[in-house]
Every structure is written in structure tokens, then in C-alpha cells.
């Protein structure tokens, strides 16, 4: 009987040692994790990092913002401007005249600018082609005149623009450049200003009004 009791005591002692060893291992593991956490430092704070790297961060008391609408004395849509924080937050941003200059917004604006550039290049090519076509044409406008060739009336920019439209050219009166109404019969070279730096000239004949009357 004594032997049996001794064996049971031995098992219990072994069990306790094993349990103690397990507890110590667990404690050591937890300490290890704590040590790793201490080495890694505090957890990341994405919001704080974004604010630190935010392109709209005040610089010398100013904010960088992107204009979404034209603002007098400030800029045009897509312009990156610096303004006082109060002016941005109290007026420009609430009115929808501007937005924060985030990296995402800057990419959008850059794509928009590229698209506008492509459209402008295509428009200029069309206008240059139009200018070349107009230069190859000549117009004829009839007007009442006396024997010396003086018109009883005059030929105006409106009439010249209308004559070009009849030829299929999308020209408005504002595109016609003449110093004043034409009051004589003859051949004129009329300047047509399509845009600021693209213009052409068209030949204009001002001829007497044709009549079917047969002289006596």
C-alpha cells in the first residue's frame, strides 16, 4: 500500500511541475510580445499622417486650394492658389468656388487640363483650316450706286458676315474687321478675325445692282 501512495504522490508532483513550467512559458511569451510591441513603437495613426502630409497644410499662414470657378483677382478654374485660411473656410469652400488641393484632386485637375489642351489643339486646327478655305473664296455684294461709283447706301460688316454664311462659313459680324462702312464700288480685301491669333482675308467685290432694264 505504501508503494501505491508514493506513486500517486510522484504523479501529482510531476503534474504540478508541468503546470508550473507551462505557466512560466506563458508568462515568458507574454513578456516577449510586450518587448516586441515596445520595439515596434505606438500604432500607426493614418489620420495624423495624412494631415502631416496634406498639401493644403498652412504655409506661412496660407492654405493651398484649387479653384473650381473663376474668382476675380485670384484665378481661373484649375488654378492652385494660396489664400488665408479664414478666406478659404468662410467663403471659397462654402460657396463651392474652391476645393482642397489633395493629391487626388490635383490628379483630376491635371487630367482635365490635358483634356482641355487636346480640345484646344483640335479647335485651333479646325480654325486654321477654316481660315485657309475662306482665303480661297471671293464674295460679291450688289449695291445701288451712281455713275461715279458712289453707293447710295453702304456695305456693312453685317452684310459681309451674311454673305460668308451663305457660302457655308460660320462667321459672325464680330469676326469682320473693316474701318467703316464701304461706300464705293470696287474690290476690297476684308480681314476676318477668327480668334486672337488666327485671322484671314477674303476678297469682296462690291458691284452695282444688276437690272434687266434695256436702254432706250
C-alpha cell at 75: 484665378
pTM above 0.85, yes or no: no
88 vs 11, higher pLDDT: 88
Instruction: Give, for 189, the enclosing helix (H) or strand (E).
Output: strand 186-195
* pLDDT tens figures, 78-103: 888 999 999 999 999 999 999 988 88
Class (C level, CATH) for 132-208: alpha beta
Band (pLDDT 50/70/90 cuts) for residue 9 is: very low
| Residue 208 contacts residue 144 (beta carbons within 8 Å) | yes
Instruction: Spell out the domain ranges in the chain.
Output: 53-101, 132-208
Backbone angles phi, psi at 136, to 5 degrees: -90, -5
- Across 68-156, the runs of DSSP E, i.e. the strands, are 80-83, 98-100, 138-143, 150-155
Distance CA 112, CA 105 (A): 10
Distance between CA atoms of 97 and 36, rounded to whole angstroms?
50
pLDDT of residue 179: 86
CATH architecture of 53-101: 3-Layer(aba) Sandwich (3.40)
Which whole number is the average pLDDT over 100-125?
Answer: 90
Amino acid at each position: 500500500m505504501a508503494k501505491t501512495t508514493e506513486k500517486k504522490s510522484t504523479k501529482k508532483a510531476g503534474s504540478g511541475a508541468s503546470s508550473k513550467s507551462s505557466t512560466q512559458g506563458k508568462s515568458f511569451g507574454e513578456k516577449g510580445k510586450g518587448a516586441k510591441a515596445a520595439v515596434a513603437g505606438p500604432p500607426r495613426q493614418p489620420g495624423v499622417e495624412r494631415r502631416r502630409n496634406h498639401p493644403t497644410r498652412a504655409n506661412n499662414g496660407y492654405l493651398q486650394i484649387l479653384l473650381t470657378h473663376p474668382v476675380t483677382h485670384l484665378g481661373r478654374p484649375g488654378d492652385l492658389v494660396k489664400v488665408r485660411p479664414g478666406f478659404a473656410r468662410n467663403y471659397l469652400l462654402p460657396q463651392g468656388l474652391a476645393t482642397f488641393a489633395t493629391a487626388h484632386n490635383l490628379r483630376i485637375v491635371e487630367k482635365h487640363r490635358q483634356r482641355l489642351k487636346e480640345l484646344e489643339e483640335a479647335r485651333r486646327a479646325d480654325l486654321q483650316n477654316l481660315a485657309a478655305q475662306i482665303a480661297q473664296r471671293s464674295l460679291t455684294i450688289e449695291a445701288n450706286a451712281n455713275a461715279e461709283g458712289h453707293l447710295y447706301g453702304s456695305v456693312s460688316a453685317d452684310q459681309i458676315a451674311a454673305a460668308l454664311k451663305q457660302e457655308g462659313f460660320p462667321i459672325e459680324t464680330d469676326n469682320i474687321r473693316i474701318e467703316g462702312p464701304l461706300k464705293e464700288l470696287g474690290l476690297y480685301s476684308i480681314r476676318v478675325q477668327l480668334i486672337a491669333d488666327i485671322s484671314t482675308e477674303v476678297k469682296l467685290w462690291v458691284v452695282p445692282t444688276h437690272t434687266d432694264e434695256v436702254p432706250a
